[in-house]
Structures are given as C-alpha cells and as structure tokens.
Structure 1
Amino acid sequence: MIRVQRTLTLDRPRQEVLRYLADFTNTRQWDPGTVRCERLDSGPVAEGSTWRNVSRFRGRESELLYRLEHLSPDRLVFVGRNRTVTATDDITLATTGTGTVLTYRAQLQFNGLARLAAPLLRREFERLADAVAARLPVVLAGT
C-alpha cells in the first residue's frame, strides 16, 4: 500500500474549494496525471456521484471508476477502482482567516501481483503528490 499526504494553505474560501473539488471532473486541471475525466451520472454532485478517470502513469494509461463516498462541508472522500488498484482520495478542509487549509491524503491499495510493485512506485507517487500540491493553488487562484 502507498500513502501520500500534502497540506496546503489556499487563498480561497473553504466553500469555494469544496465546490470545485467535489466535481471530480476538475481533476483534469489540477492533477498532472489525469488525461480525461467524465461524469457518469447527472444532477447535483452528491454522495454516490460517479466518474470515469483516465490517468497516465509511467507512460501507460489506466482507467478507474471513481465514486464520491463522502461529502460534508469539511471533507471529501473519493474511491476509484479497477482490477489492479483501489485509490482513495481523502480531502479535508479547514477555514483559516479568509482562506483554507487543505489536507490531501491519497492511498493506493494494489491487488494481486501488482502489490509486488508498490514499493518500487512509492517515489513516483510522492513526485506526483508534489506536482498536485504545486498545481492546485495555481489553478484555484484562477477560478
């Protein structure tokens, strides 16, 4: 299993950050690994909303089906699955002055033989988490 965590201070109100991140389609803008992300259902974003996310990692594309498992004013939890991996993105938000402190935790649980590769991939996932931490504040500043 791989776990990464980053904490960011954002110059945007918590409600705006929550609204933006709750729509997982926006990962195309802030996650450098995301190639495509499309919503599979309709209506307001709510617990149970689903997305098809295609990411590129180490030169290969991988598709995961994501579901919004938890939505509250201070937390979002998305779980993505395919036959190789279960990815959990757990995002907590706290108000600080006029901004927001965001803590992003990603957990990757590999299945089957892919479990053997997890230790070898940790460094690359750490780099990806650094790229997300650098890109997200820039993207949110422009929204």
Structure 2
Amino acid sequence: MITVSRTLQVAPSPSVVFAYLEDFTRTQEWDPGTVTTTRSDPPGTALGVGAHFHNVSTYRGRETQLDYVCTVHEQDRHLVFEGRNRTVHAADDLTLAPSATGGTVVTYRARFAFQRWVRYVEPFLRRGFEPIADETVARLTEVLDRLP
C-alpha cells in the first residue's frame, strides 16, 4: 500500500472548510490528477455517508476511473472518500482541527492499495506519489484560502 500524508493550515474556519470538502466533485479544483468528478446519486440526495461519486483521473498519461463513496462524515472534523476500480482501492482521508489563529489545520492522507498485477509494480510507483501530494496540498491550500 502507498500512503502519502500532508498537513496544511488555512485561514477559513473548520465549518467553512468542511462545507467545501464534503462535496467531492470539487476535487477538480485542487487534485492535479482529477479530470472530472461527478455525483452518482439521484439529484437532491444529501451529501454524507453513502454519497457516491464517479472520478476520472490521469496518472502518468493514463486515464483511470474510480467509483467513490463517502465512508466517514463527521461534521467539521473528518471526511473519508473511498474509491475502487479493478486495479486499485484508493482513500482520501481529510481531518480538520481548529488552528490557534482561528483557521483550520487540515491533514490530508491518500492511500492506494493496488490489486491484481499492478501490486507487483507498486514499489516503482511509490516515488511518483510524493510530488503529486506536494502539488495537491499547494493547490488545496490556495483554494481553501480563497473561501470566505
């Protein structure tokens, strides 16, 4: 399994940050690999545990599609979105805490458990995820700091 983790601090409060992050379709704005993310639930379905999303991403020039579900939705504190396809089980885990300055400390963890033949090349893929995590956090910080 590949795990990358980063911590960032932003000016908006945890409630503002949570309200933004709970809508996983917004990954298009901060995840450098995401091409599109759309809701898979019927219109009007509330966000929360069980909300479904379809994600199209690219990695090293290859397009992949994952179906995500929100598995943890703790208001203003914690979100987990788990995605799957034939070759990977991915999880985006976002923990929020109030900062000493009134903003929010966000800990972002991404986990990738590769399946089938891909698990054999995982050691070669591992180093490619670190720069992506750095870019993700830079974009996420920029986007979150623009929130009111």
Q: What TM-score do the two structures reach when normalised by structure 1?
A: 0.97
Other-structure match for 2:79: 76
Q: Which amino acid aligns with 1:18?
A: F
Q: Which amino acid aligns with 1:45?
A: L
Task: Write the distance in 1 (CA, Å) between the matches of 2:20 and 2:125.
Answer: 29
Other-structure match for 1:55: 57
Other-structure match for 1:10: 10
111, 128, 133: which one aligns with 2:132: 128
CA RMSD of aligned residues (A): 0.9
Task: Write the distance in 2 (CA, Å) between the matches of 1:16 and 1:123.
Answer: 33
Tell me if 1:100 matches 2:104.
Answer: yes
1:109 Cα deviation after fit: 0.2
Other-structure match for 2:89: 86
Other-structure match for 1:29: 29
Identity of aligned residues (%): 48
1:110 Cα deviation after fit: 0.3
Q: What TM-score do the two structures reach when normalised by structure 2?
A: 0.94
1:141 Cα deviation after fit: 2.2
Deviation digits for residues 49-77 of structure 1 (CA, Å, limit 9, x no counterpart): 00000001000100000000010021001
Task: Write the distance in 1 (CA, Å) between the matches of 2:88 and 2:72.
Answer: 20
Structure 1: gaps spanning 5 or more residues = none
1:142 Cα deviation after fit: 2.3
1:83 Cα deviation after fit: 0.4
Task: Write the distance in 1 (CA, Å) between the matches of 2:21 and 2:108.
Answer: 11
What SS does structure 2 have at the residue aligned with 1:139?
helix
After the TM superposition, list the runs of 4 or more consecutive aligned residues in structure 1 that deviate by more than 3 angstroms.
Answer: none
Tell me if 1:116 matches 2:120.
Answer: yes
Task: Write the distance in 1 (CA, Å) between the matches of 2:8 and 2:55.
Answer: 24
Equivalenced residue count is 143
Task: Write the distance in 2 (CA, Å) between the matches of 1:102 and 1:64.
Answer: 24
